[in-house]
Amino acid sequence: MDAWTSPNHRMFVAFVVHFVQEGMPMSFPLDMVEVPKSHTGDELAKVFAKVLEENGMSEKGGKGTEVEGADIHKLADGLLEEESVMQDTIAGDDDKIQDNDDDGLVDDVSALTEDKRKNLLATIKPVKMALMKLRCLAFKIIHLTTIVLPAWKETLETLGLEVHLMLHDVATHWNSSGNMVDFTINYQEGIEVLTQKKNLGLREFELSDEEWAVLRELCEVLKILKDTTLYFSCASPNLATVIPAMDHIDKEFTMYALDASSYSPPIRAALEMAKKTLNRYYARTDESHLYHIAMDTNSLIFGRRSG
């Protein structure tokens, strides 16, 4: 018998029969089944009993069954030991996940004075902490396949939510941070229930009311960038239509940054820095001949329509 987790995080166990026939050792696969919950000794024993029953071997009994039961629990202990090592590895990687912010873009934060930089980082800390918690939680759900993943699936089923792996952001995947935040908002109830289970050791990733509010605001802001980028990626846009879209983003960011009644200080501070970065790239269009040609064409087109 062998148990493993497939690359798509589904747990399986395979049973192989070994025997001697006319002095020759023989072996053939008996069955391979998916383990519904986790690779614990009790779960593997249930699966093993079911396989024996389905193959007409449930009447075997005797000492052989006791030995096989001990082997099952030994296998499960080995799998749980591997899981424990994985937990230690993940715990050591938490800081790496938190500090992985190098995306190769212009860093306007480093251009600030030391005092302004400290004030900014202190203001946006709730945003960074919320994202760090989501990254670590998603990492544990995906990789702790015999402890956290089964608990996550069971939680979603109990709440009547569609079972999905939690989305996580990847530096090389476009908009993965936005997708992670959007997923989190939609699965807030499941995440809250999971992180409150003391036996899973996930309480440190429990989000506060302030962090949930910040994530909802962030989701709304990031949606503008996602929708605009998807529009840029389709076949119809050209430079004459892209520039007005960039103007729209700038106006929206300005409005959000000034709206103290709807957006919290962390989001408004982050938007101010986003505007600076956007304007840095936007200013380069003044050096582009294509930009001036496109804008002149754009003015002629819309001027004729309005006339």
Q: With beta carbons less than 8 A apart as the criterion, state whether 14 and 32 touch.
A: yes
Q: Return the DSSP state at 190.
A: H
45-59, 101-115, 189-203, 287-301: the lowest-pLDDT one: 287-301
Which of 76-80, 239-243, 274-278 is predicted least confidently? 76-80
Residue 248 has pLDDT above 80, yes or no: yes
In the chain, where are the structural domains located? 1-55
**pLDDT level of residue 305 (50, 70, 90 thresholds):** very low
Question: Is the CB of residue 151 less than 8 Å from the CB of residue 140?
Answer: no
User: In this prediction, what percent of the chain has a pLDDT beyond 70?
Assistant: 65
Residues 6+ apart with CB under 8 A from 179: 167, 169
Token pair for 177: 């941070």
What confidence tier does 63 reach under pLDDT thresholds 50, 70, 90? very low
165 has pLDDT over 80: yes
Q: How many CB atoms lie within 10 A of CB 13?
A: 21
- Contact (Cβ atoms closer than 8 angstroms) between residue 44 and residue 13: yes
Whether pLDDT at 258 is above 70: yes
Pick 47 or 87 by higher pLDDT: 47
Nearest to 47 by CA among 31, 66, 24: 31
Our measurement of the distance from residue 244's CA atom to the centroid of its chain's CA atoms, rounded to an integer in Å, reads 33
pLDDT over 60 at 299, yes or no = no
**pLDDT tier, 249 (very low <50, low <70, confident <90, very high otherwise):** confident
Could you tell me how many helices (H) and strands (E) the chain has, helices first? 11, 3
What is the per-residue pLDDT across 174-191, written as a single tens digit (0 to 9) for each?
888 999 999 999 999 999
For residue 75, pLDDT beyond 90: no
Sheet containing 24-34: give its strands across: 2-5, 11-21, 24-34
Residue/partner pairs of 65-71 with CB below 8 Å, 24 or more apart: 69/45, 71/1
Under 8 Å between Cβ of 139 and 205: no
Res. 117 pLDDT band, cuts 50 70 90: confident
Most confident of 98-112, 218-232, 279-293: 218-232
What average pLDDT is seen over the chain? 76
Q: Are strands 11-21 and 24-34 parallel, antiparallel or unpaired?
A: antiparallel
pLDDT tens, position by position, 6-44? 555 566 777 777 778 888 888 878 777 777 665 566 666
Between strands 2-5 and 11-21, the pairing is antiparallel
Helix (H) or strand (E) holding 28: strand 24-34
- Whether the per-residue pLDDT at 267 is higher than 60: the answer is yes
Closest CA to 188 of 209, 203, 218, 217: 209
Q: In the predicted model, what is the mean pLDDT of residues 241-245?
A: 76
Better pLDDT: 108 or 218: 218
**Is pLDDT at 135 greater than 90 in this prediction?**
yes
